[in-house]
Amino acid sequence: MTSTRTHPFDLATGLTALGDGRFTGRTTAPYANMVGPFGGITAATMLRAIMEDPRHLAQPVTLTVNFAGPISDGPFEIEARPMRTNRNTQHWSLTMTQDDEVTTTATAIFANRRPTWSLTEAVPPPAPPVAAVEPSPVPDFIAWVDNYEMRFVEGGIAEIGQGRGTSTSTLWVRDEPARPLDYPALTALSDVFFPRVMHRLSRVIPAGTVSMTVYFHATPDQLAAQADRYILATARAQHFGTGFFDQTAELWNHDRDLLVTSHQIVYYKDTPA
C-alpha cells in the first residue's frame, strides 16, 4: 500500500495554504480526462480545501460541485469561505479560478454528527464477492482510470456497443495503488462511472458533468474500518432529454453499509434518432 504522502491521489489533491481561506494547487497528468482533469479529482480537491482550513467544523455532510468551465493543465487557486457556522452545522462556499476566471464553484455543509435512530431503506445491488470478479479492461486513452482497480459486475465500459438496453453499472472498485479510504477519496469514487448515455445508446458520444452532489453517510469509524478494501458502487440514469441526463449512484462498504449517495446532471451532445 502506497503512503498517503506519495500516493498519486494525494499529490493530485495537494494544496498550499495562502491564508484567509485561499489555497493553490496544480492539475496532474495521472488524473487527466479527455478534456481537463477527472471531475472526481476536482470535487475531492474542493472538499480538501475545506478540510485543510483551520476554521472547518467536524465532518462533511454534503458537497455540491458545479463545473462552470474547462480547467486547463497547470496551477489553480481555490477560495473557501465559511458562510455561516451554527452550533452543529457549518455552510461553505468555494470558488476555483485560473487566471482570474472562474472554472468551478461549490457549496458544502459540515456538521457534528450525533447518535440518532438510523435506518437504510436502500438495498445494495446483487454482486458476487469481489474475489469472484476479475479486474475489468478500461480505455487506455483516458488517464484517470489507471488510478482505480475496477471489477465490473455489470455495465462495464467494454460492454458499450453491445446494446444492453439499460444504463446501470455495478462494480467493485478501489484506488490503485490501494489507499485507506477518507472523505476526499470517497468523493472522487462517487464519480468513477462513465457517462450513462453511452451505455444507454451503446456508443461513445460527447458528454460531461455539469453539476454533482455527494451526500456523505459514512462515519469516521466506518471509513477507518473500510481501510483500503473494495467498495461496491452502482449508478443509473433516470431521464435523458434536451441535451442533459441525470445520474444517481450509491457506494457501499465491504459490510454492505451505505457510505454515499450521489446525484449528477450531465450534458451530452447527440443527434435525435
User: At 78, which CATH number?
Assistant: 2.40.160.210
Question: Pick the residue with more confidence: 35 or 172?
Answer: 172
Lowest mean pLDDT among 209-218, 224-233, 263-272: 263-272
Answer yes or no: is pLDDT of 101 > 50. Answer: yes
89 within some domain: yes
Answer yes or no: is pLDDT of 180 > 50. Answer: yes
Q: What is the mean pLDDT of residues 222-228?
A: 97
123 within some domain: no
The pLDDT score that the predictor gives to residue 5 is 66
pTM above 0.85, yes or no: yes
Mean pLDDT of the chain: 94
Question: Pick the residue with more confidence: 3 or 33?
Answer: 33
70 within some domain: yes
Q: What is the mean pLDDT of residues 67-87?
A: 97
242 within some domain: yes
pLDDT per residue as tens digits for the range 40-64: 999 999 999 999 999 999 999 999 9
Contact 190, 64 (CB under 8 A): no
Closest CA to 67 of 186, 208, 185, 196: 208
pLDDT per residue as tens digits for the range 126-152: 999 999 999 988 878 889 999 999 999
3-state SS of the chain is CCCCCCCHHHHHCCCEEEECCEEEEECCHHHECCCCECHHHHHHHHHHHHHCCCCCCCEEEEEEEEECCCCCCCEEEEEEEEEEECCCEEEEEEEEEECCEEEEEEEEEEECCCCCCCCCCCCCCCCCCHHHCCCCCCCCCCHHHHHEEEEEEECCHHHCCCCCCCCCEEEEEEECCCCCCCHHHHHHHCCCCCCHHHHHHCCCCCEEEEEEEEEECCCHHHHHHHCCCCEEEEEEEEEEECCEEEEEEEEECCCCCEEEEEEEEEEECCCCC
What's the total number of domains in the chain? 1
153 within some domain: yes
In this structure, what C-alpha cell is assigned to residue 237? 440514469
The pLDDT score that the predictor gives to residue 259 is 98
Answer yes or no: is pLDDT of 66 > 60. Answer: yes
Q: Strand order of the sheet with strand 89-98?
A: 16-19, 22-26, 75-85, 89-98, 101-111, 59-67, 207-216, 258-268, 244-252, 231-241, 169-175, 148-154
150 within some domain: yes
Task: For residue 192, give the 3-state DSSP assignment.
Answer: coil
191 within some domain: yes
The pLDDT score that the predictor gives to residue 140 is 80
273 within some domain: no
pLDDT grade, residue 188 (50/70/90)?
A: very high
pLDDT grade, residue 273 (50/70/90)?
A: low
Partnered with residue 250 across adjacent β-strands are 234, 261
Answer yes or no: is pLDDT of 3 > 70. Answer: no
Domain that holds residue 191: 8-112+128-268
